[in-house]
Amino acid sequence: MIFNALKLRVLAIAALSFVAAVTPAMAQEWPNQPIRLIVPAPPGGISDGVARLLGEQLRANLGQPVVVDNRPGGSAVIAERAMMSAPADGYTLMVAPSSLLSDFPLTVKTPYDPVKTFTYVAGVASMIHVLVANTNFPPNNVKEVLDYAKRNPRSVSVANLSVGTRSDLLGEMLREKSGDNILTVPYKGSAPAMVDLLGNQVQLTFEVVSNVAPFIKSGKLKGLAIVSSTRSMYLPNVPSFGELELPDFVMPDASVGVFILSSMPKPLSDRIRREVEKAVHSPKFREALAAQGFEPPKDASVEELRQRLAATMDQNRKIIEKLKLKISPN
């Protein structure tokens, strides 16, 4: 029995030594085969667009094919499960909104803990939201929206884009701010909501600036307020909620970035992070990002990203408890 225990201990030490030796080699050799980027959204969405820009730059830098694998639906659970079923070898990454670890875990129930399962290693593009309105909707600012809703209770509706998203949370906050005079209408994504917003089936929505800036600039939609303390560089004429002294709507900027499995060896995750940052900082990528209306991400270490997401989750938890929002089962 003592011999068996000793044998097991020797084997365990040998295994750990092997892993310690192999891991740096894996990081050095990566990548030597195609890389897959899982995206929890359909083609044409924000995460998809960012993933394709990143994939092209990684392909150019690393000399390996990069394939975008769209896995929409289930409030990102379908994509998360696909990610979890893949080995943590660096050849399957996920490109998704940071809300995956700051908003979704509070509103979408899963049999696993996303915060422990995934690590956000690098931002790729900032994702700032703006409250927009149909041009036929009379109010031209947030105060007028709330006054109009008070005079015309439950005649105004705001489109909420998918359960657990930043848009969903902001829409519920606006409903509460109006004294329940504004109705929330759930949508399965941005595209159908935008169709109804442009057709005046709904009057308002919170959307990412890059998605609606062209509509605002062309006069097809009205920008009412940026969900930040400052204005957006792409919509300089639209005030921020901070300027309007509505601090509840001043939320930390979200972003789209790269997620890995937390079980990935650190030397490999560090290598992936360095390569993503190199791609994101390349002039060609920055130019392509700007052409699609995205602002560059704020530089941060993995630990700083973790702290930001944890702080955002704490803020969101207080909002959800205040609004008494329900968790969506999956």
Q: Domain ranges in the chain?
A: 31-126+254-329, 129-249
Q: What is the pLDDT of residues 193-223, one digit of tens each?
A: 999 999 999 999 999 999 999 999 999 999 9
Q: What is the pLDDT of residues 53-102, one digit of tens each?
A: 999 999 999 999 999 999 988 888 999 999 999 999 999 999 999 988 98
CATH no. of 129-249: 3.40.190.10
Same topology for domains 31-126+254-329 and 129-249, yes or no? yes
Model's pTM, two decimal places? 0.83
Residue 105 confidence (pLDDT): 86
- Considering the four listed CATH numbers 3.40.190.10, 3.40.50.300, 3.20.20.150, 3.40.190.150, the one that applies to the domain covering 31-126+254-329 is 3.40.190.150
Q: What is the pLDDT of residues 252-269, one digit of tens each?
A: 878 999 999 999 999 999
Phi then psi dihedrals of residue 261, to 5 deg:
-70, 135
3-state secondary structure 216-240: HHCCCEEEEEECCCCCECCECCCCE
DSSP classification of residue 327: P
Rounded alpha-carbon distances, angstroms, from residue 208 to 30, 70, 235: 34, 20, 12
The whole-number average pLDDT for the span 299-314 is 92
Q: Is the dihedral of CA 330, 106, 131, 214 positive or negative?
A: negative
Q: Taking the CB of residue 300, how many other CB atoms lie within 10 A of it?
A: 16
